Structure 1
Amino acid sequence: MTDLQWPGLPVVVAGLGVSGISAARVLRDLGAAVTVVDGGDGEGLRARAAELEGITVRLGDGDTLPEGTRLIVTSPGWPPSSPLFAAADAAGVPVWGDVELAWHLRKPLESTGEPAPWLAVTGTNGKTTTVQMLASILTAAGQRTAAVGNVGVSVLDAVLAEEPYDVLAVELSSYQLHWAPSLRPHSAAVLNLAPDHLDWHGSMEAYAADKGRIYRGNQVACVYNLADPATEALVREADVEEGCRAIGFGLGTPGLSQFGVVEGLLVDRAFVPDRQKNAAEIGAVEDVNPPAPHNIANALAAAALARAYGVDVKAVRDGLRAFRPDAHRIAQVAVVDEVTWIDDSKATNTHAAAASLAAYQPIVWIAGGLAKGATFDELVQGAAQRLRAAVLIGADRALIREALARHAPDVPVIEAAEGETGAVAMTEVVRAAAGLARPGDTVLLAPACASMDMFTNYGERGDLFAAAVRELGR
């Protein structure tokens, strides 16, 4: 399927979401005969279907493979167990994701005759921040670039841009990597691995294997987390280009071929002459915003990928200084009566919440929502000594309450906003937290759960939290 003749090619796009609509339009413009299938049949889907001129849309049946199909391009959310893919496998029809399609549609740059290289990032947590840091560094180095994939510009839009990019900073989910067999990045990083999306992948082993696909065919560097041996194991198993190096990052003094921290300085001991004896200062801890431990690790991973691409140390420092994180990522909302209020609504799993909890103490912790199959014993054990109190919300609050009872029985717990949603719920939650907090405490919204049981998404959850805190301050 590497030399496809697109005109007239019968292609099925699975899913009428944002990525599916984008892929369908791109394929139509290439001349393919496109059919979009989706198991839903609501009013919203019908409205979207009506806007797709020149594309056949089949709603209410996402399981049947249309006769004559030569290729399926799937939206990331469709699991491998879908009947449509079983039918495709039986018929010998390949399944691609949007990343795989984008990889095949890359155009050569006039300057090199080759497509723009991809510097790719995956991991359970920290992907978006790291990719945005990397894009900031590349911009500081004078490169035309963008943070693409699961963040910012879609990867399809990026490769088809009228004005080509010099290099792309690409965030990739485990879903996207599963459906991207041809992907071969210039260099890549796996930031961390923790159980997530196991209902989609079927097991932790399958989830890790899909994450590890990002290292396949790397040319210069496979970047891994010294604090997470599972990421190094993926590097050891990777089939890479000859000469590609394993580059570790961590918060301690770096060894050979590593990035680390020495007396408040960010240090490169990988891409320097005579790294046996030398290292390069690439910035300072205070250049990272915010300078929480997990965010410093993100900065080191971004720096490692940039240095693998050849960026000089000054651009790394300037890019980190210029970077500003997105909302709802360990963002300080306000200080009210000597209590600091932090919005980390993006912490939608236990691994992300653990990183937030490690950055503060004492903490009044706001947690709960949809657990997505997670357990909370390890999280609570690790944070118990930092907790002043906890305010629990959401459908799966009982799981966190039970973990607190087992591992932090002296921590006061309030269950708030039972049966409430939206702004009403969050106002009650913030008032409950304020009643528990003392001067010098941090109230931390790091739910360790998804938000959709009470809010539209994690963004709305964070926005309503910030609004309620500001109202409290008034």
Structure 2
Amino acid sequence: MDAQEVTTSPWDGLDVCVAGLGVSGRAAARALAARGARVTLVEARDDDEWRRHAAGLAGHGVTVRLGDGETLPEGTALVVTSPGWRPDAPLLAAAAAAGVEIIGEVELAWRLRPAHGAAPWLAITGTDGKTTVVRMLACMLTAAGHRALAVGNVGTPIVEAVAGDGGGGPGDAPEPYDVLAVELSSYQLHWSSSLAPAAAAVLNIAPDHLDWHGSMDAYVAAKAKIFAPGAVAVYNADDATSAALAEKAEGVPRRAGFTLRTPRPGELGVVEDLLVDRAFTADPAHEAAELAALDDVRPFAPHNVANALAAAGLARAFGVPPEAVREGLRAFVPDPHRIQHVADVAGVSYVNDSKATQPHAAAASLAAYEPVVWIAGGLLKGLDVDDLVRSCAGRLRGVVLMGRDRHRIAAALARHAPDVPVVDVADTDTGAMDRVVTEAAGLARPGDTVLLAPVGASFDMFANYPARGDAFIAAVERLAGDAR
């Protein structure tokens, strides 16, 4: 973008309030200021870290107001909110009451795309698996020779990726991207209105973030927005809600399902030990394309095979050849704390899935192993665990409970798995995880898996789920050292 284009930008002189001084808020503020908007960024917190960020933005012409995240700046014509801000936050409520449009940073990124030659988006949402799928997809696109990037809730702020700002101003990026693999949360979709990805996938739907959205219907409605008119709709044929959303989507030129079953025409699925495509071949009724082997999916677990098929569906919708799907899966490096094998100690496998912070994710993790000594607990965020415990009861060797809401899991176990041994660890100090792992080792037998799939958030005992996973890894390593 040259100087004349910046001067005549539709953002020039627009009074914009950016809510939140996090990574996405800072990127949005820089991009808007570079296009001539008058930007005021508001942040409720006020400490040395936020003052440093504020000072950095001042050099871009952004006004930062710390210590007050509730008052709408006078004259605001548009609010760009960060995902963490609930719709009932005072500032957003004031904007809505005043008739001021509210958008998220993803919607802003879509509106900032170049008028010509903008990279198409391949978008992913779902309750679980989004980050894994978006990274798998980026690997497949790269293997096919595209300059691709995974964005959204991962890596580079999406505003920077689409605007070419590099954090400094339009035109700083050395080369535009061919295609973007975009992870979208329900929060981001809630605040979006004009997104039109080339292809989009809904991986699965289960209750989550209901405190933010207010109801399950509102949560599902936010997810449904990803199937915009013109997008190829990739859906989970094994998930009733995902399939229903694709069926109801209006204006989509094509629908393609993915399944862990043998695929029918129009689906991607599994045949013996192969991932195959019967959706994007020249004759889906009579022709299948071999995409990869099950051994190419790492780490191997049924839900991760579904992740690979979803990524493959989006890649194939974009024209990626089968061999690049296989190469991409082989190049993919799993993120930590997602069904991560830590060690084998005395014939017992120890697996870290600290990212399994709600029942749907924990159920997928538990389904991958048998017999299991399950480590669970944390903050359940009001979610019910009865169905989870009922479904996994038959594969449990024992359970070790920790965290604030462990009593709720214990009650579900008493109802649905009364014969399974349960150890309650009430400790919350820094050595608690060592005691948890020691108790789990005492319940396990050779051939078993000790699985950390907490089903709850981590904030009662740890800074975040990676910190919880790191504590588990360290405790297992100490156990292994003692066993040598």
| TM-score (norm: length of structure 1) | 0.95
Query: What does residue range 358-369 of structure 1 map to in structure 2 within 5 Å?
Result: 358-369=367-378
Query: What does residue range 279-298 of structure 1 map to in structure 2 within 5 Å?
Result: 279-298=288-307
430, 434, 448: which one aligns with 2:437: 430
What residue in structure 2 maps to residue 452 of structure 1? 459
Percentage identity across aligned positions? Answer: 62
Query: What does residue range 65-80 of structure 1 map to in structure 2 within 5 Å?
Result: 65-80=72-87
What residue in structure 2 maps to residue 208 of structure 1? 220
What residue in structure 2 maps to residue 300 of structure 1? 309
Query: What does residue range 120-199 of structure 1 map to in structure 2 within 5 Å?
Result: 120-161=123-164, 162=173, 163-199=175-211
What is the DSSP-based 3-state SS (H/G/I as helix, E as strand, rest coil) of the residue aligned with 2:16? strand
Structure 2: state its 5+ residue gaps.
1-7, 165-172
What is the DSSP-based 3-state SS (H/G/I as helix, E as strand, rest coil) of the residue aligned with 2:201? strand
CA shift, 1:25, in A, is: 2.0
Whether contact under 8 Å (1:390, 1:412) holds in the other structure is yes
Whether contact under 8 Å (1:417, 1:428) holds in the other structure is no
452, 456, 461: which one aligns with 2:468: 461
CA shift, 1:290, in A, is: 1.5
What is the DSSP-based 3-state SS (H/G/I as helix, E as strand, rest coil) of the residue aligned with 1:366? strand
Q: 2 CA distance for matches of 1:469 and 1:208? A: 38
Whether contact under 8 Å (2:372, 2:398) holds in the other structure is yes
Q: Deviations over 1:127-175 (max 9, x none)?
A: 0001111011101100000111111222112112311100011100000
What residue in structure 1 maps to residue 170 of structure 2? none
CA shift, 1:416, in A, is: 1.5
What residue in structure 2 maps to residue 408 of structure 1? 417
**Paired letter, 1:27:** L
Q: 2 CA distance for matches of 1:234 and 1:81? A: 27
CA shift, 1:417, in A, is: 4.6
What residue in structure 2 maps to residue 269 of structure 1? 278
What is the DSSP-based 3-state SS (H/G/I as helix, E as strand, rest coil) of the residue aligned with 1:214? coil
What is the DSSP-based 3-state SS (H/G/I as helix, E as strand, rest coil) of the residue aligned with 2:109? helix
Q: 1 CA distance for matches of 2:35 and 2:9? A: 11
What is the DSSP-based 3-state SS (H/G/I as helix, E as strand, rest coil) of the residue aligned with 2:93? helix
What is the DSSP-based 3-state SS (H/G/I as helix, E as strand, rest coil) of the residue aligned with 1:51? helix
With 277-286 and 59-68 compared, the bigger mean Cα shift is at: 59-68
Q: 2 CA distance for matches of 1:45 and 1:116? A: 33
Q: How many equivalent residue pairs?
A: 463
What is the DSSP-based 3-state SS (H/G/I as helix, E as strand, rest coil) of the residue aligned with 2:468? helix
Does residue 246 of structure 1 match 2:246?
Answer: no
Whether contact under 8 Å (1:417, 1:426) holds in the other structure is no
Q: CA RMSD in A?
A: 1.5
Q: Deviations over 1:37-80 (max 9, x none)?
A: 22334454344334331322223332222211011000001111
What is the DSSP-based 3-state SS (H/G/I as helix, E as strand, rest coil) of the residue aligned with 1:200? helix
**Paired letter, 1:13:** V
What residue in structure 1 maps to residue 39 of structure 2? 34
Q: Deviations over 1:390-448 (max 9, x none)?
A: 1111111111111111101111111115232x4x1211211111111111110000001
Q: Deviations over 1:265-307 (max 9, x none)?
A: 1110011122111111111111111120000000001101100
Whether contact under 8 Å (1:192, 1:225) holds in the other structure is yes
In structure 2, relative to structure 1, the CA distance for the partners of 1:387 and 1:302 (3 Å cut) is same
**Paired letter, 2:183:** E
Q: 2 CA distance for matches of 1:64 and 1:351? A: 38
What is the DSSP-based 3-state SS (H/G/I as helix, E as strand, rest coil) of the residue aligned with 1:342? strand
Q: 2 CA distance for matches of 1:365 and 1:182? A: 43
Q: 1 CA distance for matches of 2:215 and 2:393? A: 29
CA shift, 1:237, in A, is: 2.4
What residue in structure 1 maps to residue 168 of structure 2? none
What is the DSSP-based 3-state SS (H/G/I as helix, E as strand, rest coil) of the residue aligned with 1:188? strand
Q: 1 CA distance for matches of 2:450 and 2:367? A: 13
What residue in structure 1 maps to residue 245 of structure 2? 234
CA shift, 1:21, in A, is: 1.9
Structure 1: state its 5+ residue gaps.
none
**Paired letter, 1:406:** R
Q: Deviations over 1:77-99 (max 9, x none)?
A: 11112222222122221111110
Does residue 117 of structure 1 match 2:120?
Answer: yes
What residue in structure 2 maps to residue 12 of structure 1? 17
